[in-house]
Amino acid sequence: MTPFWLRATLATVEYAVCAVLLALGVVLFMEAFRLGPGWGEQGPQPGFAIFVLTTMMVVGAIGVAITNYLKPDRRPFFEVSQEVVDLLKVGLPVGVVIYLIPWLGIYLTAGLYMGFFMAWYGRFRWYSAIAGLVAFPLVLWIILSKGFGLPLPMSVFYRQGILPI
Amino acid sequence: MEALELLGLGMSALMDPSRLGFMMLGIVLGLLVGVLPGVGGTTGVAILLPVTVFLEPISALVMLAGIYWGSMYGGVITSILFAVPGNPWSVAVMFDGRPMALQGKAQFAMSIAFVVSFVGAMVGAILFTFFALPFALMALRFGPPEMFAVLMIAFGTFVGLGGAPAKALIMIAVGFLLATVGLDVVTGRPRMTFGTLELMQGFHFVPITIGLFGLGEVLNNAAERYKVQIEDMTKAAKLGLHDIKEAVRLVIRKWWLALSSALLGFLTGILPGAGATPASFMAYGIAMKTSRTPEMFGKGAPEGVMAPEAANNAAGTGSILPMLVLGIPGSPTAAILMAGIFMWGFIPGPRLFVEQPEFVWSFIASLYLANVGAVIICLTATPLLAMMLRTPYAIMTPIIVMLCFVGAYAIQNSMLDVWLVLIFGIIGFILRRLEYPLAPLVVALVLGAPTEAALRQSLIMSDGSMLIFLQRPVSGPIAAVASCCSCCR
């Protein structure tokens, strides 16, 4: 049986995007009315721009939905299952990296990410992956922290005085 | 003729080997800060300002100028190679530079960018040398109504920028809406913050741009690796001097585009609060509007690289002009340079030209020499830079992703910006597949806040009357040009 992600067409995803935009439109209209969507004595009120722009967005979304209904694009959003696999193999580590940054800081995370990705995705030999794991954060640290003094997130080990990064 | 003599005085002051050395050091440092997303020329100049206290004033000023110019050139490198703009003014060059890189023409795109940057900077420097005072006085006549009219030109040029009209409308509206998040510019009331403290500062456009283009591109490439592998594309491309020669020929052939974009950039650059970023967008939009093949824009048109680069480098020169001539900084970098001038015991303004001609004209001379140095260094390094795209995918992906995160975090030291990169990366991936044009969103996001502020300040000045835009001598004609730009396709 074809997996559900391969059955989704561009038209289906287009409808989903329009639905999200319309739902967002409702929230934004409420915000515009809270702030004042009209014209005061000295020009537009704080909600005026939001009101006009949300109207533009909603009109555009309705236009796209109508076009999609009249001429639906039946091509699949993902052509083959390999696309989804490749996307997840790259995308999931990116999500994990963001989650790790507050704990391990930017440099340790960068090293682990490089080492892991080289070994797992690139199938580099273990010693090459370890070289990447060490070299990448070191170069980043020398340039960004030592060179330009950028205040980037540091690890819990840095906060406890165990590591310099 | 007097200007030429004084320029000669400045040039002779710069012929001192130690001063030339500091200038070249500044260029190299500037290239580095320009390449690193999130650092940028302004931060680079600010970080290195204290170091220059120990130098004699002329060496210090030309070193800072070198950093500034280096960063103007460096910003395009990551924009073209990885779709991660090194500077805000390098966003527009990415629209066509990155597609060129994906077609295996990274070296050609970078060569065009460097050559035309040099042309833009030289046009700016010549105008600076001979017409500094009239331009500075013209800038003083620009109030909120004039600024609004100028910004409307930028928007007008982007009407009909690729994609279906309804999709372009959505993208402009969404970009503008994102720009309205935060405190209201006039009343100070929180808008669209939904009670969240983090949203009070609003969305900076850099993390969103990095997400949409940088990470969005990473995800798109990942999904398409089963049919296209970028390192194979770039391995097929020949590296060498051929692309540099071609780039020079192209710039000569399209000299009118380079010159007009540079003039536009210079004029925008001298306006306080405008600067290089709107100039680059405006030049891109006008180049597309006037092109015989507008449908090629966004798909790797060399003109799409030429126009914004010529404009932003000329704007970079222009933004320094009001600071030096009148003591009014036109951009954040000019403000930091001005702080340096104060630090060395001088006061920027007309009297500085009379009392310290060697100092002032050394700086103006450095506009010429630093750009010559920067373009030579950049063109020499172009094949090497293009080779970076041949790096194995498993090494390049972590580098690009981490550059995206560093660039986003460094803007406001906020993890929210890092999350924004991921969120907009996913949104960018989906929108790209559905053929939504991403450029109008970025333009609206960048120019949205200043446009709304200028509109509302103007209307406060006129007690709510829209006629203010037509009645003033400068804003009226500019508003008419903006209307033409919106109507013509």
pLDDT tens digits along B25-48: 888 888 887 777 666 677 777 777
Mean pLDDT in residue range B336-360: 80
Calculate how close chain B gets to A162, using CA atoms only, in Å: 23
Where residue B303 falls among pLDDT bands split at 50, 70, 90? very high
Residue B61, pLDDT score: 82
In this complex, is the C-beta atom of B335 within 8 Å of any C-beta atom belonging to chain A?
no
- Pick the residue with more confidence: B220 or B153? B220
Which of B402, B456, B459 has its CB closest to that of A110? B402
pLDDT digits (tens, 9 = 90+) for B354-364: 788 888 888 88
Which of A47, A117, A148 has its CB closest to that of B398? A117
Residue A110, pLDDT score: 96
Among B36, B193, B395, the residue to mutate for chain A (most A Cβ within 10 A): B395
pLDDT of residue B328 exceeding 60:
yes
Residue B145, pLDDT score: 86
In this complex, is the C-beta atom of A37 within 8 Å of any C-beta atom belonging to chain B?
no
Question: Average per-residue pLDDT in chain B?
Answer: 84
In this complex, is the C-beta atom of A47 within 8 Å of any C-beta atom belonging to chain B?
yes
In this complex, is the C-beta atom of A150 within 8 Å of any C-beta atom belonging to chain B?
yes
Token readout for B15 is 């012929």
Hey, what's the torsion of the CAs at B344, B345, B350, B355, to 10 degrees? -100
Which of A35, A56, A147 has its CB closest to that of B189? A35
pLDDT digits (tens, 9 = 90+) for B411-451: 888 899 999 999 999 999 999 999 998 888 888 888 888 88
Q: What are phi and psi of B149, to 5 degrees?
A: -65, -40
Q: How far apart are CA B326 and CA A31, in angstroms?
A: 43
Q: Do A87 and B219 touch (CB under 8 A)?
A: yes
Whether B286 and B150 have beta carbons less than 8 Å apart is answered as no
| Interface contacts A/B by beta carbons within 8 Å | 178
Token readout for B238 is 């020949």
Which of A53, A64, A83 has its CB closest to that of B167? A64
pLDDT of residue B239 exceeding 80:
no
For B393, nearest residue in chain A (alpha carbons): A122
Q: Tell me the residues of chain B between 28 and 87 that have a Cβ less than 8 Å away from chain A.
A: 32-33, 36, 38-39, 43-44, 47
Is the reported ipTM for this assembly greater than 0.85?
yes
Token readout for B371 is 């750009």
- Pick the residue with more confidence: B111 or B68? B111
Low-confidence winner among A9-13, A39-43, B117-121 (lowest mean pLDDT):
A39-43
| B317, HSE (Cβ side, Cα atoms, 13 Å) | 35
pLDDT of residue B261 exceeding 70:
yes
Where residue A138 falls among pLDDT bands split at 50, 70, 90? very high
Among B28, B402, B466, the residue to mutate for chain A (most A Cβ within 10 A): B402
In this complex, is the C-beta atom of A113 within 8 Å of any C-beta atom belonging to chain B?
yes
Q: How far apart are CA B249 and CA A37, in angstroms?
A: 53
Residue B234, pLDDT score: 61
Token readout for B318 is 């222009």
Which of A14, A91, A118 has its CB closest to that of B219? A91
Calculate how close chain B gets to A14, using CA atoms only, in Å: 7
pLDDT of residue B149 exceeding 70:
yes
Q: How far apart are CA A69 and CA A64, in angstroms?
A: 9
Hey, what's the torsion of the CAs at A141, A145, A147, A150, to 10 degrees? 140
Q: Do A42 and B460 touch (CB under 8 A)?
A: yes
Calculate how close chain B gets to A144, using CA atoms only, in Å: 9
Mean pLDDT in residue range A47-66: 94
For A147, nearest residue in chain B (alpha carbons): B47
Show residues of chain A in contact with B194, CB under 8 Å.
31
Residue B160, pLDDT score: 57
Contacts of residue B215, defined as CB under 8 A and 6 or more positions apart, other chains included, come to A94, B401, B404, B421, B422, B424, B425, B428
- Pick the residue with more confidence: B268 or B239? B268
Q: How far apart are CA B312 and CA B300, in angstroms?
A: 19
Q: Tell me the residues of chain B between 163 and 182 that have a Cβ less than 8 Å away from chain A.
A: 164-167, 169-170, 172-174, 176-177, 180
For A83, nearest residue in chain B (alpha carbons): B223
CA-based nearest residue to B162, from B359, B439, B369, B366? B439
CA-based nearest residue to B31, from B110, B106, B104? B110
DSSP assigned state of B294:
G
DSSP assigned state of B183:
E
Burial class of residue B134, CB neighbours in 10 A (0-12, 13-18, 19+): exposed
